[in-house]
């Protein structure tokens, strides 16, 4: 709850005091003895929503009025819940950042006073709706991509047994480790394309697009070769049990046959995202995802191929999505159109993409190394715990993927803002995306907590001999990690803002300290001393919190630079 209260204070200070002008002192904190108890302050925020809606509905947009009413009605029954009023205020703050109206709110005696908020940022365009329009298709795309990856675990767990499920689960961290490095460069592609798109530099965009095509082929082939050659040694290094090692190795080798196609798709979709096209990647994912599910059922149920069947289905689906996104790039009527005759390597653009992208990839690898070590410790508890851990982490990945949408939106909109020389807009992007990240994360974490037995039951049949043990292991992970996933989302959104500013070193160093370093230390100290699976899982929320704090410190430093830009002290965007 202290984290809720701290984040609430940050939202108030930076969204209200920095992004809006006040005709008089806007917030008078603790002007009555109510500060002695945290509850009156949170109750007063609920009354703030109510008073703004009832006193000046004619000055609010229809969207604002509608959402104010909904959130007021939702928060009133939970009057004494800090998290309910916090969620209300977070969404309200994001909406106010887009609303060009004057709102007045008078609160009950003894509460805080918000006298007047006036939107006064003539150099900015409304961003809340564009960010939502950008993010929703992107979120659905990510969830669908995750869904057809999760289909591997669901199908193999229900129709091939818990041992096969454990075999697929043992490969998760290794796949993430290798794929993250090569896909990290796509973040560099997204950043450069968005930056040049915001600046209107058509020649630079064309060079970036065609250089990205070359890099995607090279890096995709490298990822495939590395994954196929070193699948078994990596599994042994991760401590995969001997009873699942052969199946896990087979799954990895087949999976990495399709990695070049996956890398090509990620590069292509990164270019489309940079220019605001998130609808077509969603359509492509729907088509390829449907094929993946159908092939999973065909190969596992009809042909009884087990682990090999789900791996083949995934690789074929990845190939289809890559072909579709390449066709879209070659036929799109836009400055990001791909002309196969112009594909070549531009050293300057490649260097910039690698500088930003490899930094992001290395950051992901640092996370993955720590996760591989954690997975190795999980593997020591046996196949039932591995299966339960795999099922729970599969559910948590849906939360992570949904929140990660705003990480990507932050990078894209921040880059475009700096390319258009609108540094204040970059600050607004951060707070809108942060509010949406926390709000969505809280909702999804609560839903997972409420329906954890039913959701975990998707992965394992009740008739399975290890059903009770697998379910118990899954519930243990959900209780220890899932309810704090929103902190991980905040961490990623803050990181996305830094990357959108063109900074490459700080996020990587921060991850090295906050994620890898802390988790390794935790593994060899606290976990070694306690020895329970719960003590191992607690390393995740602790490392998320530490990394978030470090990101916020850097963002405060960069915020001063953006304020200097806004004052005209520097007409150029910060260098990459």
To which H or E segment does residue 448 belong?
helix 423-450
Which residue do the tokens 């703050």 mark? 93
Helix (H) or strand (E) holding 240: none
Residues above pLDDT 70, as percent of the chain: 75
396/30 Cα distance (integer angstroms)? 38
What letter would DSSP give residue 276? T
Q: 390: exposed, middle or buried (C-beta count within 10 Å: 0-12, 13-18, 19+)? A: buried
* pLDDT bracket for residue 209 (50, 70, 90): very high
What is the total residue count of the chain? Answer: 576
- Rank 99-108, 152-161, 171-180, 479-488 by mean pLDDT and report only the highest: 479-488
Rounded average pLDDT over 174-178: 75
pLDDT band at 250 (very low <50, low <70, confident <90, very high): very high
Query: What is the three-state SS of 503-558?
Result: CCHHHHHHHHHHHHHHHHHHHHCHHHHHCCHHHHHCHHHHHHHHHHHHHHHHHHHH
pLDDT tens by residue, 362-417: 777 777 777 778 888 888 888 888 888 888 888 888 888 889 899 989 988 988 88
* Whole-number average pLDDT of the chain: 75
Q: How far apart are CA 88 and CA 72, in angstroms?
A: 8
Angle at which helices 245-257 and 307-331 cross, to 10°: 20
Both structure tokens of 310:
């789900």
Q: Which residues pair with 102 in a beta bridge?
A: 118
Residue 84 or residue 399, greater confidence: 399
Q: Is the pLDDT of residue 104 over 50?
A: no
pLDDT at residue 77 above 60?
Answer: no
Report pLDDT digits (tens) over 313-324.
Answer: 989 988 999 999
For position 393, what pLDDT does the model report? 84
Least confident of 33-37, 113-117, 179-183: 113-117
Q: Would you state the structure tokens that stand for residue 485, as one six-digit string?
A: 């996933």
Q: Give the residue, 575 or 166, on which the prediction is more confident.
A: 166
**Does the pLDDT value for residue 298 go beyond 60?**
yes
């Amino acid at each position: 709850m202290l984290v809720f209260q701290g984040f609430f204070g940050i939202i108030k200070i930076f969204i209200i005091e920095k992004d809006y002008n006040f005709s008089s002192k806007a917030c008078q904190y603790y002007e009555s003895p109510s500060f002695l108890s945290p509850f009156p302050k949170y109750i007063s925020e609920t009354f703030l929503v109510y008073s703004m809606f009832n006193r000046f509905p004619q000055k609010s947009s229809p969207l604002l009025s509608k959402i104010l009413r909904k959130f007021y009605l939702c928060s009133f029954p939970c009057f004494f819940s800090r998290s309910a009023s916090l969620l209300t205020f977070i969404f309200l703050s994001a909406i106010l950042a887009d609303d060009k109206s004057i709102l007045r709110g008078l609160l009950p005696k003894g509460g805080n006073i918000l006298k007047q908020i006036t939107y006064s940022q003539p150099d900015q365009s409304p961003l809340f709706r564009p960010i939502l329009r950008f993010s929703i298709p992107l979120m659905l795309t990510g969830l669908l991509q995750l869904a057809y990856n999760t289909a591997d675990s669901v199908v193999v767990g229900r129709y091939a047994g818990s041992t096969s499920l454990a075999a697929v689960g043992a490969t998760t961290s290794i796949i993430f480790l290798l794929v993250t490095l090569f896909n990290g460069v796509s973040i560099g592609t997204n950043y450069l394309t968005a930056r040049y798109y915001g600046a209107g530099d058509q020649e630079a965009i064309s060079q970036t697009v065609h250089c990205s095509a070359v890099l995607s082929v090279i890096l995709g082939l490298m990822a495939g070769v590395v994954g196929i050659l070193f699948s078994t040694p990596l599994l042994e290094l991760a401590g995969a049990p001997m009873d699942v090692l052969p199946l896990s190795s087979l799954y990895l080798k087949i999976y990495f046959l399709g990695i070049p196609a996956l890398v090509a798709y990620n590069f292509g979709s990164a270019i489309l995202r940079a220019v605001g096209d998130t609808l077509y990647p969603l359509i492509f994912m729907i088509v390829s995802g449907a094929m993946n599910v159908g092939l999973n059922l065909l190969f596992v149920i009809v042909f009884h191929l087990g682990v090999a069947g789900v791996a083949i289905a995934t690789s074929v689906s990845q190939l289809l999505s890559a072909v579709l996104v390449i066709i879209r790039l070659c036929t799109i009527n836009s400055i990001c159109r791909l002309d196969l005759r112009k594909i070549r390597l531009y050293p300057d653009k490649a260097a910039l993409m690698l500088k930003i992208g490899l930094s992001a990839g290395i950051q992901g690898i640092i996370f993955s190394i720590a996760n591989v070590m954690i997975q190795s410790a999980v593997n020591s508890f046996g196949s039932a715990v591995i299966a339960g851990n795999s099922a729970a982490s599969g559910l948590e990945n849906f939360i992570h993927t949904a929140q990660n949408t705003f990480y990507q939106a932050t990078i894209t909109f921040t880059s475009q803002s700096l390319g258009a020389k609108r540094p204040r807009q970059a600050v607004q992007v951060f707070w809108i995306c942060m509010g949406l990240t926390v709000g969505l994360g809280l909702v999804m974490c609560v839903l997972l907590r409420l329906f954890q037995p039913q959701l975990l039951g998707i992965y394992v049949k009740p008739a399975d001999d290890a059903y009770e043990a697998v379910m118990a292991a899954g519930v243990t992970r959900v209780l220890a990690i899932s309810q704090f996933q929103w902190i991980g989302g905040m961490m990623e959104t803050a990181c996305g803002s830094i990357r959108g500013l063109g900074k490459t070193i700080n996020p990587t160093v921060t991850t090295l300290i906050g994620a890898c370093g802390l988790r390794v230390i935790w593994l060899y100290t606290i976990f070694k001393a306690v020895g329970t699976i719960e003590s191992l899982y607690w390393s995740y929320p602790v490392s998320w919190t530490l990394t978030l704090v470090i990101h916020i410190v850097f963002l405060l430093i960069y915020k001063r630079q953006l304020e200097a830009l806004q004052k005209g002290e520097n007409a150029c965007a910060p260098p990459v």
